[in-house]
Amino acid sequence: MISLAGFILTKKIRISRLLVYIVFLYLSWLAVRNTANFAFVACIITIFNAENMRDIRIDPNIRLFKIFKYGYLIFILLFVIITSYNIALDKYYVYGGVIKNFGVGKVDIMFPIGADEFIKNNNLKGNIFNDALIGGYFTWDCYPERKVFMDGRMEVFGEKFLEKYKSVYDNPEVFFDKVKDEYSVEYVLLHPLSPHSENLIKYLNKDKLWKLAYLDESGVVFIKNNNEVKSSIKEPEVSSFDVLEKIPAYLSYANFYYFTEQYEKAKTLYLAIIKLNPDFVESYVNLGSIFLIEKKYRESRECFESALKKSNRYAEPYFGISTIYLNEGKYNEALQNLNYALSIKPVFPEAQFQLCYIYLKLEKYNNVISICKEMIKKQPFNEKLYNLLGTAYYSNKNYIDAAEQYRKAIMINQKYTEAKRNLAVCLDKIKEK
């Protein structure tokens, strides 16, 4: 928007600049995620346009244009100063949830260096399933001997393949085995700092057919349980991390312990992160979530409230407080906090599920039906959504539609006992009619 305003406020629009701007804007729109190239071009064009505006001689009668001109230049100056200030003090990275610090150097923790070495040294054979966010490094380090399953060039793989990948990290209980069998997956490479890895780490850790083979701060490797390769599990060592990597390293280990239900280890590391950086919101949230699992509601509430004191721009603390109220049977308070969470983060499946659950308790069945239908458009292979929708129809005494939704849930996950039980009850109701 800033760069576009520059064209409007210049005396004479340079067609060559506008053409370059439009081309890169279109390419950026096609790629959806990869906007860095457009940002560089837009920045350079904005500087040229601002320079042209400085040389414009303004007619004294056109006062409004003069206000816009100098207002635009002042806005750019303030934007640069404030952004630079926030980056220098790391506030930009904390707010964005980015594991970085201001300074010169590289953060190796975002690359699975040790995990890749483990894979190569132990000559793990067969196909890999990996987190796409670390797939680029795997390709660089292991190709052509080993081929990546997915990397950051997601558009290249096509929508159908991307849908398979997404279904695995969204719902591994249902889809991982299907993808594993289709692509003959023999080992899995994940990263505790990646949102794509969380559900799969939880699933593989409990699956008796798989075992943890490698763990460090920058990567996790699971192999089949019948593989005789000796595991290499590294514990976090304070002395082995420099200042730049200490927080992300602690966070990586803490997340892994959290995902694998090693809560005491996770709590120790989250507290260590807070000591290093009291503004690190994610640590408060995850610590509060662990206390919530342990039913320590007072400690949990304190953590979520501390997170909100640091920043009220995150949805997760509101969701956590809503869950506490829900467990206390205070539905109106729970609903209020859920609405706060969803106003910040409209696409928040856990919060939307919880919202439906509260509406069921409040007998607002049409609200549940509406929410579920919208969520199914984005998650068409989530069996729990169909089961929830069926429950809303059943509660509304619409047994035929309820049975249809339960069947859809069972088609996705044939081991879904709750949906089978609900379908049986529903069919009995239909027979009574």
Q: Write the CATH number for 432.
A: 1.25.40.10
* Average pLDDT for the chain: 85
Query: Does residue 50 lie in a domain region?
Result: yes
Query: Does residue 171 lie in a domain region?
Result: yes
Give pLDDT tens digits for 365-386.
999 999 999 999 988 999 999 9
Give pLDDT tens digits for 277-319.
898 999 999 999 999 999 999 999 999 999 999 998 999 999 9
List CB contacts of 21: < 8 A, sequence separation 6 or more. 3, 4, 7, 41, 42, 45
Query: Is residue 180 domain-shared with residue 69, that is, in the same domain?
Result: no
Q: Would the pLDDT of 250 be above 80?
A: yes
What is d(CA 396, CA 81) in angstroms, rounded to the nearest whole number? Answer: 57
Q: Print the domain residue range for 187.
A: 108-233
Of residues 138, 131, 151, the one with CA closest to residue 198: 131
Query: Is residue 113 domain-shared with residue 82, that is, in the same domain?
Result: no
What pTM value is reported for the model? Answer: 0.79
Of residues 359, 317, 361, 374, the one with CA closest to residue 341: 317
Domain stops at, among 233, 263, 292? 233
pLDDT bracket for residue 81 (50, 70, 90): confident
Domain stops at, among 204, 233, 262? 233
Q: Who has greater pLDDT, 107 or 206?
A: 206
What is d(CA 140, CA 135) in angstroms, rounded to the nearest whole number? Answer: 9
Query: Does residue 315 lie in a domain region?
Result: no
